[in-house]
Amino acid sequence: MPHAPSGRLIVNIQPIRSRLAGPFTAGASAWSNTSDVRFIVMSSVMQELLANSAFDSLKEGAIVPGTITEIRQNEVVVDIGGKSEGLIPAHEFFDLGELQIGSSIEVFVMKLEDKDGSPVLSYDMAQQKKNWENILLKCQEGTIVSGRVKGKVKGGLIVGMGVDAFLPSSHIDVQPPKNLDQYLGQTYDFKVLKINLDRKNIVLSRRELIEEQRTSKRRNLLDSIQPGQLRKGVVKNITDFGAFIDLDGMDGLLHITDMSWGRISHPSELLKQGEEIEVMIIEVNREKERVSLGLKQTKKNPWDDIDHKYPVGAKIRGKVVNLVPYGAFVEIEPGVEGLVHVTEMSWTKRIAKPSDILKVGQELDAVILGLNRDEQKISLGMRQLDPNPWDMVKHNYPVGARVRGKVRNMTTYGAFIELEEGIDGMVHVSDMSWTRKVNHPSEVLKKGDEVDAVVLDVDPNQQRISLGMKQLADDPWSDIDRVFKIGDVVQGTVTKITSFGAFVELKDGIDGLVHISQIQEDRVEKIKDVLKPGQVVSARVVKIDREERRLGLSIKAANYSIEQIQAEASAYDSMKTGNELTNLGDILDEATKG
């Protein structure tokens, strides 16, 4: 810009007049006053020169003073004398509440202008650049420093301590945490592990401090701890078999069996991780540095006065907590359970398994049947709440009474006849027929049949009623001599064929046996080649065995003379060789096995 010889500043006002023409168009006549023009020109030019002068002094990488002009929720506006104001993220300040509009702060110029023409500033980097040398004077490897967790990076956290330091994930805690967000914004003490001067990098450890503190606390705890003491601790970890409790110095094991006097399936039903609880010291092993803890021991054992609380015969109300094949466990109160055996659930209902009538969580009433405090066992009964129908059985079903019922079930030894709901009587196979040997009740009965029977015996204590079907008729063997005599020729129907003979049904349901040797004169190899079931045959009675209640028959002797008949009868009695039956009873016994 040209200068006058006298050193006065010469200004060409034409360009200025042109630049200011827009705003002053309406008052162009004012420009006729030379002094006004000089004042306006000088003022405008000086402001522009001062602004250019301040901006030229700013450099990237420099720390410069700035004035806070506005405090927003997520950013702070700072004027550093440039063409425009800069924005600093709010997270770079420890507490926005401590800042004031108009106050001066030092900032680091990262870029003079961004795409919008605004400077890019950082308060944090200015502090770190200023603090680095101070940090080195105060901070050495192994020293303890305090810092605030500022953010997450790959592999760990960034900690602000005047400068940024790195905290690896493996050094955050004794066990590397899964969630790093919980540490953000928190202030802790750290141990300096390493300082790299070239990279201006500091590595910290919080874990080593914790371990050192725990070692000291563990030593003090082991010196002072004694069985029977009550201690507060924090649930550190939960497993299937128990929980580890942090006693502020060392961990103790709280086994699942020492958690509750009552029943629990998993420790998580009772405890939560991070929860503070009071436990009792049960056992201390100072050599192995192990401590066993108890939670239920902090409460009174409910079994101590169980005899007075639940005397035999008392009625109780409880909740089903477990079902097993043989019964149901009922919680009477926390820590006290009783067992209702499946046989004590009903007087009359036939319960195959408890789950047929009960479910876990169901509340029920029961009666105390027995109690063993030492073994912590209580026997309960549900059916005792109702009258026992078997008390009236002797009155309702006296011996000798004729009854009618339905075949409910059959076993190898007899059939169960339902007389009324829940009251059964049993007919043994030996009481089904006077005349034939019944090997299985299915030979005579089938399930669902309506049958008549006679009451033979009643035992209310064992809940048994014995019935007989054959007792409905007279025993034909009581007068067998009147019906059959040796030598009689009889007719009957073949009912069963065995390897040694054939059974023939005669009148009154009496069976006779035709031995294979008595079928025909010629030798018979296979009876089925000669006789068939259902075939009607004539035979002569050659043997009557009252004790065995059986008849011996001979088809071939149907036309024999009396002398021949006597000879055949003698032949039955003299069968004593190894492969022959010794008597007619043995023949019939063998037949039953066929």
Does the structure show a pLDDT above 70 at 470? yes
Does the structure show a pLDDT above 60 at 184? yes
One-letter-per-residue 3-state SS of 29-94: HHHHCHHHHHHHHHHHHHHHHHHHHHHHCCCCCCEEEEEEEEECCCEEEEECCCCCCEEEEHHHCC
Residue 404 amino acid letter: R
Q: Judging by DSSP bridges, how do beta strands 327-333 and 315-324 pair with one another?
A: antiparallel
Burial class from Cβ neighbours inside 10 Å (0-12, 13-18, 19+) for residue 55 reads middle
Which strand (E) or helix (H) includes residue 12?
none
- Residue 473 CA to residue 478 CA, distance in Å, equals 12
pLDDT at position 6 is: 36
For 52-82, write each residue's pLDDT tens digit.
444 556 788 888 899 999 999 889 999 998 7
- Average confidence (pLDDT) over 404-409: 92
Tell me the Cα Rg of the chain: 55
**Lowest pLDDT segment from 198-202, 305-309, 517-521:** 198-202
Confidence of residue 572 (pLDDT cuts 50, 70, 90): low
Instruction: Tell me the H-state helices in 239-364.
Output: 306-309
pLDDT at position 10 is: 40
pLDDT at position 329 is: 94
> Quick check: helix, strand or coil at residue 535?
coil
For 335-384, write each residue's pLDDT tens digit.
899 999 998 998 878 788 999 899 999 999 999 999 988 888 999 999 98
Does the structure show a pLDDT above 50 at 41? no
For 373-383, write each residue's pLDDT tens digit.
888 899 999 99
Confidence of residue 568 (pLDDT cuts 50, 70, 90): low
| Assigned token pair, 13 | 């006002």
- Residue 482 CA to residue 262 CA, distance in Å, equals 76
Residue 118 amino acid letter: S
pLDDT at position 156 is: 93
Per 3-state DSSP, the chain is made up of helix, strand and coil in percentages (nearest 5) of 30, 35, 35
Share of the chain above pLDDT 90, in %: 32
Which stretches does DSSP call E strand in 325-357? 327-333, 336-341
Count the neighbouring beta carbons within 10 Å of the beta carbon of residue 107. Answer: 24
